[in-house]
């Protein structure tokens, strides 16, 4: 199973996964229309992987073109990343999110059925837990309704997969529920490329340190946590990438299974700022602000199942992730 189709392979998690796949002897075939990525990432991939991958600039919402890729390349496994991912934007243009994320997914699934693909890995999110009852979530923690159309596209994506498996046994499917991926490849050749003003904490921190933003606003310091700020499970993107290799190597036929991809450890927003100051040697300017609507107080993964059944465990620390994110931000200046 060497040829793997990676939809959205030029995106943030997708590009790091392509590197991990090439390192393990796979040949990823990236399909990506670069709507939310850039040639900078493809150049970085070329430097890291040489000819170890192929790139096709196509929109997976175009079913005919997508089917021709399956026809031409003898695809046996698919890792499906391609999707819009901004929580805030999805509230403004929900139809664009439902159209792109769900039609894209259904086209890929139809192609997998038609061309007898053996394995399908779906990019899901801890957003499917909604506001959990406990702080730590297990894979069988009841799902709650997400807070945004983006979250619903992941929630519905999992539902579509469940329904598909109810009456048929189409292909081995693994849903990976990512917690908060951060960081970049240690080479500084690929990393996160937010479009416009970042919504997520890490790119906001690094852009503030680089002088692009004036200061970070910490969204709320009156939460019931030790320092009053929200707690998340931040995980190095290279660890997330390696989880996909383990998903492909996962033995035996599992009709449909779900895995938490986190570290099992929660970190608060202020702890992230303090750690960033230590690794960067800077003093990040920040202000305490109001809570952001829709934010949950605290969530982190239980990762026992991923360790036991997927044979995967996060190896890198938050410090390493912050160091690599800062390195990437500094490299990006060279492309201005």
The catalytic residues are: 150
What residues from 77 to 96 belong to the interface with ligand UFG (CB under 6 A)? 85, 87
The CA distances from residue 331 to 194, 209, 281, 282, in Å, are: 15, 13, 17, 17
Whether 287 and 219 have beta carbons less than 8 Å apart is answered as no
200 binds ligand UFG (CB under 6 A): yes
**Under 8 Å between Cβ of 185 and 48:** yes
C-beta of 127 vs 280, nearer to ligand UFG: 127
CB atoms within 10 A of CB 299: 24
User: Is 235 near ligand UFG (CB under 6 A)?
Assistant: no
In whole angstroms, the minimum distance from the beta carbon of 269 to ligand UFG comes to 5
Bridge partner list, 236: 182
The two tokens of residue 41 are 């990432």
- Give the CA distances from residue 297 to residues 79, 114, 204, in Å, rounded to whole numbers and listed in that order: 31, 43, 20
Q: Length of the chain, please?
A: 336
106-135 residues in contact with ligand UFG (CB under 6 A) are 125-127
Q: Which residues in the 291-310 window bind ligand UFG by CB under 6 A?
A: 292, 295
Strands (E), 142-221: 172-178, 180-182, 216-219
What tokens appear for 96 in the block?
Answer: 């664009």
Question: From the CB of residue 97, how many other CB atoms can be counted at a distance below 10 Å?
Answer: 24
The nearest distance, CB 30 to ligand UFG, in angstroms, is 21
Beta-bridged to residue 230, according to DSSP, are: none
Is residue 236 a contact residue for ligand UFG (CB under 6 A)? no
User: Which residue from 310, 56, 85 is spatially nearest to 180, judged by alpha carbons?
Assistant: 85
**Which one of 119, 232, 236, 244 is in contact with ligand UFG (CB under 6 A)?**
232
Pick from 269, 303, 310, 322: which binds ligand UFG (CB under 6 A)? 269
Which residue number places its CB atom closest to ligand UFG? 230
- How buried is residue 277: exposed, middle or buried, by Cβ count under 10 Å (0-12/13-18/19+)? middle
Task: Give 121 or 230: the residue with its C-beta nearer to ligand UFG.
Answer: 230
Indicate if the alpha-carbon torsion angle 69, 75, 81, 83 is positive or negative.
positive
Minimum gap (Å) between residue 29 Cβ and ligand UFG = 25
Check binding of 141 to ligand UFG (CB under 6 A): no
Which residue's CB is nearer to ligand UFG, number 237 or number 269?
269
Query: Closest approach of Cβ 43 to ligand UFG, in Å?
Result: 26
Q: In the complex, what is the shortest distance from the CB of residue 118 to ligand UFG, in angstroms, rounded to a whole number?
A: 29
Tell me whether residue 42 or residue 201 sits nearer to ligand UFG (CB atom): 201
Binding site residues, ligand UFG, CB under 6 A: 85, 87, 125-127, 151, 180, 199-201, 204, 216-219, 230, 232, 269, 292, 295
């Amino acid at each position: 199973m060497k040829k793997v189709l990676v939809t959205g392979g030029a995106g943030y998690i997708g590009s790091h996964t392509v590197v991990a796949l090439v390192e393990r002897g796979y040949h990823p075939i990236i399909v990506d229309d670069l709507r939310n990525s850039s040639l900078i990432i493809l150049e970085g991939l070329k430097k890291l992987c040489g000819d170890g991958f192929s790139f096709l600039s196509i929109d997976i919402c175009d079913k005919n073109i997508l089917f021709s890729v399956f026809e031409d390349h003898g695809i046996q496994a698919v890792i499906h990343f391609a999707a819009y991912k901004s929580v805030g934007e999805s509230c403004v243009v929900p139809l664009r999110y439902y159209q792109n994320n769900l039609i894209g997914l259904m086209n890929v699934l139809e192609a997998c059925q038609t061309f007898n693909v053996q394995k399908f890995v779906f990019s899901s999110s801890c957003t499917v837990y909604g506001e959990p009852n406990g702080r730590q979530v297990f894979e069988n923690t009841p799902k709650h309704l997400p807070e945004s159309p983006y979250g619903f596209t992941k929630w519905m994506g999992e539902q579509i997969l469940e329904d598909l498996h109810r009456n048929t046994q189409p292909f081995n499917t693994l849903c990976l529920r990512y917690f908060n991926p951060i960081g970049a490849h240690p080479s500084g050749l690929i990393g996160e490329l937010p479009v416009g003003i970042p919504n997520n904490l890490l790119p906001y921190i690094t852009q503030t340190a680089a002088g692009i933003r004036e200061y970070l606003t910490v969204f709320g310091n009156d939460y019931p946590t030790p320092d009053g700020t929200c707690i998340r499970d931040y995980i190095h993107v290279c660890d997330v990438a390696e989880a996909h290799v383990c998903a492909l190597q996962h033995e035996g036929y599992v009709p449909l299974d779900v895995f938490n991809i986190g570290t099992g450890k929660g970190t608060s927003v202020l702890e992230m700022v303090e750690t960033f100051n230590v690794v960067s040697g800077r003093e990040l300017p920040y202000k305490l602000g109001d809570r952001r609507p829709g934010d949950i107080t605290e969530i982190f993964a239980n990762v026992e199942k991923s360790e036991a059944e997927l044979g995967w465990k996060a190896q890198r620390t938050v410090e390493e992730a912050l160091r690599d994110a800062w390195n990437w931000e500094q490299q990006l200046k060279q492309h201005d």
